Amino acid sequence: MPDTVRPILLSRLFGRRSANRYYSGPVSDHFDGVRFFNPGVDTDRSFAELLRWSFGDKGTPWPKAWPGLEADRPPARVEGADIRVSFIGHASFLVQTAGLNLLIDPVYAERASPVGFAGPKRVNPPAIAFADLPRIDWLLISHNHYDHMDLGFIRQLWRRDRPRLATPLGNDTIIRRAVPEIVATVGDWGDRLALGGGVDLFLEPTQHWSARGMGDRRHALWAAMVIATPGGKVYFAGDTGFGGGWAARIIRERHPDLRLGLIPIGAYEPRWFMHPQHVNPEEAVALYEILRPREALGYHWGTFRLTNEPIDEPMTGLAQALAARDIAPERFVAARPGLVWRAAEA
């Protein structure tokens, strides 16, 4: 098993409490009154399965360093309908459009872990240095896993920029423990949150789960995001398993005109353990075919070793999956930290 952390693993086993730590609200088709869930899909794993992965094949080691592209120094603002998307690394993106700076799932910590001395360690630095980040207007947080929610960074950014927060139900409670003053806008699957400047954020279903430690499994909601801008819609999957494509079909019906898709392609081996929660490259291409964005970027690979596959396998696997479906490789690119995607106003 890769360099994971015992508290995260224990949360898979002992997340059975009668009260929700972060959220209280009405029962729905994905909330049972205590825990959120994926309709018709079970992402939980048994103790025996966890032991099998923990003490089984360790997978392919990663190099200690695997540099990305040249570091990015984004402009202060991007106005009008132009869109600029910078890939910071793993699942972190800066989206600039309509005079707004939106930071998605920023993780600047050395480790994706509850502790600084153990857990998955990054093999490339964030592609935008903290000092080079423009003033951030909104933090968009998809869910509470340590490779997507970095409370230390959120606290640091709050002190500098005072950004607002948009996130699914329950995650605001966790973040307010680090930054009590932060102004948060929260929502459920299907909700539309106004960010200003003609930009809206839609929270949409995605097949995943949540936990920060022991006893809080699925106490906060996870979500995909669609950012509707004057220049088009940007989809961000967060984390997701394929599950036959049920969530992607809902999003396709609600958002048939995606300009850009941000789709994960890594952290998927071994498949018998990871398939409910993370897509592999072939499934990522299947999501692309359901969602039909004009272009797509693959992320969630090549920065933190969370699972067993080789560091570059998601990139080669994506190329093979695209070729098998006769999709031009420039339509769906495996992003390296530092990649910048632009869409100019028509």
Mind listing the pLDDT tens digit for each residue in 124-145? 999 999 999 999 999 999 999 9
Share of the chain above pLDDT 70, in %: 92
pLDDT at 155: 98
Contact between 291 and 332 under an 8 Å Cβ cutoff? The reply is no
Q: Tell me the per-residue pLDDT of 288-306, one tens digit each, with 9 for 90 and over.
A: 999 999 999 999 999 999 9
**Cβ count within 10 A of residue 212:** 22
Kind and range of the H or E run holding 155:
helix 151-161
Confidence of residue 55 (pLDDT cuts 50, 70, 90): low
Q: Is pLDDT of 100 > 90?
A: yes
User: In this structure, what are the phi and psi dihedrals at residue 153, rounded to the nearest 5 degrees?
Assistant: -70, -40
Kind and range of the H or E run holding 248:
helix 246-254
pLDDT at 48: 73
Output the six-digit token pair for 131. 């000092």
Rounded Cα distance, 239 and 237, in Å: 6
Mean pLDDT of all residues in 317-345 = 95
pLDDT at 345: 61
Confidence of residue 47 (pLDDT cuts 50, 70, 90): low
Burial code (b: 16+ CB inside 10 Å, e: under 16) for 268-286 equals bbbeebbbbbbbbbbbbbb
For the chain, give every domain's residue range: 22-31+65-343
Greater model confidence, 45 or 66: 66
pLDDT at 174: 98
**How far is C-alpha 104 from the chain's CA centre?**
8
Mean pLDDT of all residues in 64-87 = 98
Rounded Cα distance, 103 and 198, in Å: 17
Output the six-digit token pair for 250. 């809902």
> Residue 109, SS3?
coil
Contact between 101 and 137 under an 8 Å Cβ cutoff? The reply is yes
CATH number for the domain running over 22-31+65-343: 3.60.15.10
Q: Is pLDDT of 3 > 50?
A: no
Confidence of residue 42 (pLDDT cuts 50, 70, 90): confident
The mean pLDDT value of the chain amounts to: 93
Q: Tell me the per-residue pLDDT of 306-323, one tens digit each, with 9 for 90 and over.
A: 999 999 999 999 999 999
Mean pLDDT of all residues in 274-279 = 96
In sequence order, the 6+-apart residues with CB closer than 8 A to the CB of 259 are 83, 231, 232, 233, 234, 293, 294, 295, 343
* CA distance readout (Å), 193 to 186, 226, 242: 8, 10, 26
DSSP-assigned beta bridge partners for residue 168: 187
Confidence of residue 214 (pLDDT cuts 50, 70, 90): confident
Dihedral sign (CA 28, 33, 36, 39): negative
Helix axis angle for 47-54 and 6-13, nearest 10°, is: 160
User: In this structure, what are the phi and psi dihedrals at residue 174, rounded to the nearest 5 degrees?
Assistant: -65, -45
Confidence of residue 44 (pLDDT cuts 50, 70, 90): confident
Instruction: Report the relative pairing of strands 295-299 and 332-334 from DSSP bridges.
Output: parallel
Contact between 11 and 215 under an 8 Å Cβ cutoff? The reply is yes
Output the six-digit token pair for 127. 């592609």
Look at the block and give the residue holding tokens 């072939």. Answer: 282
Q: Is pLDDT of 2 > 70?
A: no
Rounded to 10 degrees, what is the CA torsion of 215, 306, 43, 209? 60
How many secondary structure helices (H) and strands (E) does the chain include? Answer: 8, 14
Q: What is the pTM of this model?
A: 0.93
Rounded Cα distance, 244 and 303, in Å: 27
